[in-house]
Chains A and B, each alone.
Chain A
């Protein structure tokens, strides 16, 4: 679901716009729509999620219809359509990781953070969710944290404690 929490227009910074233009240059003339996914990743890295005003602005930049951006942003699971915690812990919940304890790790994270899957902690620092196989099955349980998608492998409860303490700084 798209959620509109603010309706004012968004202005992308010149630095961000320069990155957008570089991406567009990778495709043949007239095929600038190919830049959509890379640009949405940059938008999410900048704002933490992808809002409707941001998508409208991306549409404008790429000379495509806003609906073309919405249909893509809603299809791909990596794009957050509402605000998240500063750190989103995405834990693999697929078969091979479950053979080595992913379900227990998810329960532990839920209990440790005190919020359900998809919810944000009161201080706005954390949210978490289960995601599908992250191509690290030999090193499970595993989680990733965007926007650089750093991996934390062979997770244990102690490692989770340390990770959360480190992120809190």
Chain B
């Protein structure tokens, strides 16, 4: 059993209340930070912990905090990113639903470290129940003196508010989120300036994911060094993984970074294996935006090493044979799933969610959706497959925000690894409507996949 730092007490009845949360040691970290540490001490501990942003990009949190500009007399803001809309990701909802005080406590510690006196939690609008839960938790915390003026006699003031979004994936991108919080359309801003210099209301701002913020609680309680002892190399601590798709036990798991992927999929502690006795075909390991991997590259890297649940190991092999940790949205496909259909579904998602500001993304995602639709429904040509690769390359790197890349990678990687399945849809248009390509060679020894990549 791995150590659990975030959701250890998730099954304790009443853990959503302040009373029970405190009985389980809650708000000790706030007391420790505000009474015995300076804001810079808190930043130092987070740096030592090696914590990397859990929202998707994996940028070191302590370093991000130290970039925050601190001009005299200008307010600074911490905004929590609880927009959670990346397909395959549902960990933040889980944490907020069951242990809302873990986020509130983390917000107090993090706001203190950054010198923010007003902080916002931007929650996707559909999470109305979670918004109510958080508002109740905030009221409890305020009542107990953990929020408001002169918290615990430290002289530090903090107000915390929950802001609903309106149903737009793009508002998870941090500058779009800031625009949205200002009451505007969620159009990402051109960077620089970065939010650390000019973010919310043009003031220095840090945007952090729910899980990153909650992780500061155990970091302050146990110290950054203790936290950094968990994990492998630069992948320190624990991570919440959202597991979905064709597995026996879908759900949210807290893992120690470094668990082998094979163990994660097949052990009863986690996913419990592929559902209905089927065989594994593919995995999208980090939310819909990251490259898909065929079964033969899931458990082992192209070099034959065991693949681990770490930022580095998942990325081993680059885009040719690796993927990314992303947001930890682990989507499992069994042998009956159609890769073409899923790729079309994802590209429809990105087209739908493109904010429309830049033409490569706005037009490119539309073309990809259209071409994939025609391949899926048996009207495609062989040249469509290369056309897709071409369009994806023209989007990648040519847009204001990373949504363009996020739309391009799933398509490019699906074709890289599953080209034969795309070709089959063209050559067998009738058959592809009534049956599936199946597992084909995707679970065969690794040489196969590498050969496909090189051709």
Contacts and interface: CB of A to CB of B under 8 A. Distances in A.
Contact of B251 (A33, A98, A138): A138
A95 B345 contact: yes
Interface stretch (A13-21, A106-114, A148-156): A148-156
B206 interface: no
Interface stretch (B24-32, B55-63, B87-95, B100-108): B87-95
A96 B329 CA distance: 10
Contacts of A144: 126
B250 A138 contact: yes
Contact of B349 (A31, A72, A99, A132): A132
Given A35-B183, A100-B245, A148-B128, A137 B88 contact: yes
Interface in A125-164: 131-140, 144, 146-151
A94 interface: yes
Contacts of A96: 87-88, 244-245, 329, 331
Among A36, A135, A136, the most chain B Cβ lie within 10 Å of the Cβ of: A135
Nearest to B201: A31
B243 interface: yes
Contact of A132 (B125, B243, B352): B352
A62 B86 CA distance: 32
A26 interface: yes
A34 interface: yes
Contact of B84 (A64, A135, A148): A135
Interface string B153-179: 000000101011111110000000000
B243 A138 contact: yes
Given A28-B201, A72-B183, A78-B126, A95 B166 contact: no
B75 interface: yes
Contacts, number: 153
Interface string A69-106: 00110011111000000000000011110111000000
B183 A37 contact: yes
Given A31-B182, A72-B184, A96-B87, A132 B166 contact: no
Interface string B99-131: 000000000000000000010000011111100
B87 A137 contact: yes
Contacts of B181: 34
Contact of A77 (B168, B245, B250, B334): B168
A57 interface: no
Given A37-B180, A133-B88, A75 B166 contact: yes
Contact of A135 (B85, B128, B168): B85
B129 A37 contact: no
A31 to B, nearest CB: 6
B331 A137 contact: yes
Given A135-B84, A135-B92, A137-B329, A76 B167 contact: yes
Contacts of B127: 135, 149
A76 B251 contact: no
B164 A38 contact: yes
A79 B166 contact: yes
A39 B75 CA distance: 25
A76 B90 contact: no
B221 interface: no
Contact of A139 (B165, B182, B246, B250): B250
Taking each of A71, A98, A131, which has the highest tally of chain B beta carbons within 10 Å of its own beta carbon? A98
B186 interface: yes
Contacts of B226: none
- Residue with the greatest number of chain A CB neighbours at <10 A, chosen from B127, B183, B186: B183
Nearest to B203: A28
A98 B252 CA distance: 19
A130 to B, nearest CB: 10
B245 A33 contact: no
Contacts of A34: 163, 181-183
B410 to A, nearest CB: 9
B346 interface: yes
B346 A75 contact: no
A47 to B, nearest CB: 16
Interface in A1-60: 26, 28, 31, 33-38, 40-41
Contacts of A95: 87-88, 288, 331, 342, 345-346, 349
B442 interface: no
B250 A78 contact: no
Contacts of B169: 132-133
A98 B345 contact: yes
Contacts of B85: 132-133, 135
A62 B184 CA distance: 13
A95 B250 CA distance: 15
Interface of B: 75, 84-90, 92-93, 118, 124-129, 159, 161, 163-169, 180-186, 201, 242-246, 250-252, 288, 329, 331, 333-334, 337, 341-342, 345-346, 349, 352-353, 355
Given A78-B125, A94-B87, A100-B244, 18 more contacts: A34-B181, A36-B183, A76-B186, A94-B349, A95-B88, A95-B288, A95-B342, A95-B349, A98-B341, A98-B345, A132-B353, A134-B126, A135-B124, A135-B126, A137-B88, A138-B242, A138-B250, A149-B127
12 contacts: A37-B166, A37-B180, A38-B163, A75-B186, A95-B331, A99-B244, A131-B167, A135-B127, A138-B242, A138-B250, A138-B252, A147-B128
